[in-house]
């Protein structure tokens, strides 16, 4: 048990201990995904409570990717000041913070986003309302949105980013043969289904983000 309290490192990022707060939806962001004082207070309490690494709640990278109400957003440069305040608050309390980047895809909330949800494939019978099967061009646009979001996280002072590829969200949908019935280069084999998730596709290299921000995949 004592080892949990020891200082450690993740790819050069020094953590005060081995306690990690995994990404958890707080429901404290503004209606537009902006950071609120209540959300900053939550992060401060986590850092003061001794959490070595905080991973933010799933943060939507594109307006069409919003999953639910009061969800944190990083789809616009207008959100950077609030995100900067949140990262600064964690750092001032001796913590580290990573932003989880997400797109809900098939499970996006059209009423909140104002956009028809994207689907990797238009699978009949899976949804009660229409879904739009993504074109190759739209896949490229979403990948670039992830890259832009990672750059905003860096500008805001976050210590890293995590790509959300679990829980049935968009990047998970690419991997799943239940959701991915495509016959182009993004469907079929495991290699093709994983194509959209490659670091090369995201452009999340050291040349883009530098050596001070870490990238991971959930």
Q: What is the pLDDT of residue 109?
A: 93
**Could you tell me the CA-to-CA distances from 16 to 21, 51, 58, 65, 86 in Å, in that order?**
13, 8, 24, 34, 19
Residues of the chain with pLDDT under 50: 207
The superfamily in CATH containing domain 2-217 is Aldolase class I (3.20.20.70)
Q: What is the pLDDT of residue 67?
A: 96
Domain chopping of the chain, boundaries: 2-217
Active site residues: 169
**Could you tell me the CA-to-CA distances from 208 to 38, 61, 156, 181 in Å, in that order?**
32, 17, 15, 32
pLDDT in tens, 121-169: 988 777 667 789 999 999 989 989 999 999 999 999 999 999 998 888 9
3-state secondary structure labels for all residues of the chain: CHHHHCCEEECCEEECCCCEECCCCCCCCCCCCCCCHHHHHHHHHHHHCCCCEEECCCEECCHHHCCCCCCCECCCHHHHHHHHHHHHHHHHCCCEEEEEEECCHHHCCHHHHCCCCEECCCCCCCCCCCCEECCHHHHHHHHHHHHHHHHHHHHCCCCEEEECCCCCCHHHHHHCCCCCCCCCCCCCCHHHHCHHHCHHHHCCCHHHHCCCCEEEEC
Q: What is the pLDDT of residue 25?
A: 94
Q: What is the pLDDT of residue 207?
A: 47
Q: What is the pLDDT of residue 182?
A: 94
Q: What is the pLDDT of residue 13?
A: 86
């Amino acid at each position: 048990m004592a080892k949990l309290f020891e200082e450690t490192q993740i790819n050069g990022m020094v953590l005060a201990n081995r306690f990690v707060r995994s990404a958890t939806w707080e429901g404290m962001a503004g209606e537009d995904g902006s950071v609120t004082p209540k959300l900053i207070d939550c992060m401060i309490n986590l850092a003061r409570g001794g959490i070595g690494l905080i991973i933010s709640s799933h943060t939507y990278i594109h307006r069409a990717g919003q999953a639910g109400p009061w969800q944190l957003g990083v789809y616009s440069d207008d959100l950077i000041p609030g995100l900067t305040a949140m990262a600064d608050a964690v750092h001032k309390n001796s913590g580290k913070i990573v932003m989880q980047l997400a797109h809900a895809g098939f499970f996006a909330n059209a009423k909140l986003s104002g956009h028809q949800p994207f689907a990797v494939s238009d699978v009949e019978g899976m949804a009660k309302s229409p879904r739009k099967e993504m074109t190759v061009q739209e896949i490229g646009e979403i990948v670039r949105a992830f890259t832009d979001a990672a750059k905003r996280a860096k500008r805001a002072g976050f210590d890293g980013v995590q790509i959300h590829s679990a829980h049935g969200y968009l990047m998970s949908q690419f991997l799943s043969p239940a959701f991915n019935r495509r016959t182009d280069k993004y469907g079929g084999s495991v290699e093709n289904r994983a194509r959209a998730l490659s670091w090369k596709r995201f452009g999340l290299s050291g040349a883009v983000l530098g050596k001070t921000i870490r990238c991971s995949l959930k």
